[in-house]
Amino acid sequence: MNALPLDGITVVACEQAVAAPLATRQLADLGARVIKVERPGTGDFARGYDETVRGMSSHFVWLNRSKESITLDLKQPEAAEVMERLIGRADVFIQNFAPGAAERLGLGAEELRARHPRLITCSVSGYGSSGPYRDAKAYDLLIQAEAGLLSVTGSEDAPAKTGIPSADISAGMYAFSGILAALYERERTGRGSAVEINLLDSLVEWMGYPFYYTEYGGTPPVRAGTSHAAIAPYGTFTAGDGTEIVLAVQNEREWVSFCRTVLDRPELATDERFHNGSQRVANRRALEEHIAEVLSGLTGEQLEQRLAEGRIAHARQRGVAELSTHPQLLARDRFTEVRSPIGPFTAVRPAIGLHGRTARMDPVPALGEHTEAVLEELGYDDPARRRLRADSAVQ
C-alpha cells in the first residue's frame, strides 16, 4: 500500500499564478486532496500563460497536477453556501486574492477560524497585510527588484532577473512548510492557526547572505555573472573545444590540488598574488588569465578527468534542453508520465523522496472537470446543481 503522509487531508485553494499553486501541488504530492476553486470561463490565469505543452501552459502543468478543479463565481450569493460547505470539510484553506478581497468575500482568516476552529488558513500576498506597500501589485520581477535580487544578479555591466520566478517560488515553499508546521501543531493542540506568507518577506529571507555582507561589510556584493564576489576561481570556464565547465575552488586544499593536478603549475599555489582566498579575489583577472591559457589546450573530457583526479568541485554548464538526458537524473528515474486533458506528458518527480513510497502524480485537471462530482459530494442534488448553473454560481 502506498500510503502517503497527507492522506486524508483536504485543502481548498482559491489560487492562481505560481506561489499558492506551488504550495498546494506539493501538498498533493504528499497525498493531500486539493480542491482548486477557479473562475468560471477563464480559471486560473496561468492556464493562459502559453500553449507550449501540447496546447497547455508550461506553468500550469508544472503546478497543478493531482488537483481537482471546480468552477465557482465567488461574487454570486449562491456561491457563499458552496464555499461554506467546502471549507466545513477542509483541513486547510489557502488563498492569494488581492489584499482585502478574502475579507470582502467572507473568507478572511479570522472569520473562517471563528466558525471552524480546526481549520488552517494560509494567505499568500505580495507585500503582506499591512504597511505602505500592502495594495501594490506584486509580480515576480517587481519583488526581485524590491528585494535587491536584481542588484546582485547579472553581469558587471547590467543587472538581470533570475531565469525562474524566484519570488513566487520562495513564497510557495514557505507557504508549503508553514502549512505543514500548522498541521503538526494541530495534532498537539487540536486547533488550527493562520499562516501568512508574502513574496517580499520570502525573497528577502533568501537575500540573507548579501544583506549581512552589505550591512556589516560596507559594500554590496558585486554582480559577477557566474563568478562569486568572495571566492576565486569560481564560475564558468571554457575548454579548448568549447565545453563550458563551472569551477568552485573554495578552500586551500582544493586550490593546491587545482594548481598541481589541473593546471600542472604547482608554483601558482604559493604565488603571493594567489596564496589565499582574499589575494585570489583581488587578483582575479590575472588568475583567470593563467587558467584560460591552460584550459585552451584541453578538451572538455580531458579537463573533467583532471578535475576528478584532483577532487576539484566542478560541473558541466548545461542548457535546459539537456535536463531530460542528464545521466544522473536518468539513472535515478527522475522522470515519469502525467496525464492531462491533452494527453500524457513527461514530468519531473517531486524533490521530496519517501523511502518505499511513490509520490502522487495524478492528472492535471481541465477547468471545472470536478465541479459536478464535488457538488454532489457536498449534498447538492441534480435540481440544486442545475439551479447553481442557472444562477451562474458555477459553470
The whole-angstrom separation of Cα 174 and Cα 371 is 29
Contacts of 350 (CB under 8 A, 6+ apart): 26, 29, 359
Catalytic residue among 228, 275, 326, 370: 228
Report the largest interatomic distance among the alpha carbons of the chain, rounded to a whole angstrom. Answer: 87
Report the amino acid identity of residue 274: F
Give the closest residue to 23 by CA, choosing from 241, 243, 15, 159: 15
Asked if 92 and 118 count as a contact pair (C-beta separation under 8 A), the reply is no
Computed on alpha carbons and rounded to an integer, the radius of gyration of the chain in Å comes to 26
The cell for 235 is 564560475
46 in Cβ contact with 38 (< 8 Å): no
> Which amino acid is residue 45, in one-letter code?
F
Which DSSP category does 241 fall into?
Answer: T
549581512: which residue's cell?
212
CB atoms within 10 A of CB 106: 13
Active site residue 228: yes
> Is-cis flag, bond preceding 383, omega within 30?
no
Please give the distance of CA 323 from its chain centroid, rounded to a whole number: 17
- What does the alpha-carbon distance between residue 299 and residue 301 come to, in Å, rounded to a whole number? 5
How is 287-344 classified by DSSP, letter by letter? Answer: HHHHHHHHHTTS-HHHHHHHHHHTT--EEE---GGGGGG-HHHHHTT-EEEE--TT--
**Spatial separation of the C-alpha atoms in residues 28 and 43, rounded to whole Å:** 19
> Hey, what's the torsion of the CAs at 304, 305, 311, 312, to 10 degrees?
-30
For the annotated catalytic residues, the residue numbers are 228
